[in-house]
Structure 1
Amino acid sequence: MHFTERELAEFVHELILGYKPKDDKTIDSIIPHLGSVTWLRSKLMNNLSYERFFQIVKILDFIYSSEDQERKYREQFESFLALPPDREAFLRSIISEYDDSYTNFHRERFFDQLRVFDAIKSTYFPAVPEFRVLDIGLMSVSQLYKRIVPETQLHICDHPAAEEKFRSFPEGYAQFYPINIETTQIQNVYTQLKGQFHLILFCEVLEHLRLEPAEIISDLKELLVPNGMLYLTTPNGMRAGVFLSYFEGRAPAETYSRKNRIRYEHGHIHVREHTMKEVLLATEKAKMVIKQRCIKEYSQPGNFFVTRKISAGGLINIIAGSN
């Protein structure tokens, strides 16, 4: 493989310091010295950035100390989701039909979401004639479930502001229930939904709520059939990026501009991100049984920290049963 000088300089910087150069000026300063190991060592390794970087690595090594167990959880999760090559190719092909920016950014996460959907149906409900599913939060991938499992009866709960977006769905594709789940219990407003669903998808929603997680999970449990399943994903509140933001002098909490206040009012701001321990405790408090759990990185799989530590990954995945 042939590298240009700029590519090589960028590679050397990342190899030694663990992150890419911040600007072209840094790359330009390295290029004249690519042939000198002594210079590279003195300028890159014997400096405060290098020392600081490895102090951070030591701290994260201490924080993410349960790697062997986390690796087993991830292997079990991947084994549960494993598909024949032709089925995997089919799922990837239908996701590729969507080219909006949100889907492009979350494409790998959506792929796992479809794999979970497929695996839960085939493992726990292979013979049900009508696979009743509740999706909490409307998104483009919501339109793909029936293509995976044609017998799916899809129901969607979301903030009332999402009702306009739902109108773009094919007529009769799903039932929509407008509700603010942070302030209102679904089962109290839509009593006909209690005990109805084989699967509830609760993906990338929890972080938008200030509500105690165990309360909303308990609400969702009431909507499940006996032995029904919940798939929950939420950003990992202990991912590497959260800690690194503090080292850079930034708090990771999200804010909004007054002109975009509607994003906050409609639930598009991350108001509280949770750790794996918190999500597990909330799930157990709701008296649900953990079937699968893992932490995965989807947006930066080659990041130095997340390749070194599974627990530093960006997303919590939980599959839990109602009993």
Structure 2
Amino acid sequence: MAEREAALIVCPGRGTYGKAELGYLKRLHTDKADLIAGFDRLRSERGQQTLSELDGAERFSPALHTRGDVASPLIFAAAYADFLSIDRSRFDVAAVTGNSMGWYIALACGGAVSPEQGFAIVDAMGQNSQAGEAGGQVLLQAVDEDWRAVPGLREELLAAAAAIDGRPGCALHLSIDLGGMLVFAGNEAGLTALLAEGPATPGREPLRLVNHGPFHTPLMKGSSDRAMEQLPAGWFGSPEVPMIDGRGHIWRPFASAAGALHRYTFETQILETYDFTRAVQVAVKEHAPDRIILLGPGETLGGAIAQALIAIEYRGLSSKADFQDIQASPAPVLLSMGREDQRNLVTG
């Protein structure tokens, strides 16, 4: 039998279940009926609409499907079902990471919590964010059209955010370091000031993320406190495979304290910047995967992964064109399960 390829698994965050993904569970995971039914029962017991009802809706509703208490569990179920669909005769899971909410999915994929516990965590945190703290997020691009860093722009953006955060009535922080993009989060005054006064950025216009709170900032203290109270440390155990968190720290099998993992997940991870760029870079340097597998739904994280790799010239990549070339080769570095052509390479 051919030797299995080492795979880094990347779990998606919020914003990946959109109009094109409606029906994802119904279309792609009919063989996971028991898993989905179990998640549906947990939702029904809390008086919530089931995933089957939400995923099977006739139309995608931005007002409904992007809400934290709806989007988060849908994304968890789709991503975890994708994880179970990976052909293990071809791929060996070397490590797991994720972006933002994807950390909760990574906990389940990495075996640090059970699938049911992972779903309960995501469901609870989705409700937290929907009820939660005032504020939001805005995404700005810091790379040029070739996905190379614009000299000095990152530093300018961070300096502008720090200056705004120092003003009375303003709160603004770096929320997520996302490949060639920076996500800032804050209150309305802070976000408005950044959009009005921040340096010009290339490519896309600054994007206000719909139904997103001020994640990964001190503004989420109430959410962190509720999570620490509601979600028990006893659910957590040592992972079965290495997990790379939003600092680039590696949680290793048989060497990770459950209490520390619980505190990181519901304190540090909620209140401090999530450095997805560093997580990807540490993962590929430490675990040298043959392939990076991005779980669905969606594929919007693919660009951020590529930009993180270009920044360290991984496998000689130095531009968007280089990445496109390797993706068109017989051995693409990134396989996105949200794309039908690449999905088939993962599931067989």
Shared fold per TM-score greater than 0.5 = no
Taking structure 1 as the reference length, the TM-score comes to 0.31
Tell which structure's C-alpha radius of gyration is larger: 1
State the structure with bigger RCO (CA 8 A, min sep 6), 1 or 2. Answer: 2
Taking structure 2 as the reference length, the TM-score comes to 0.29
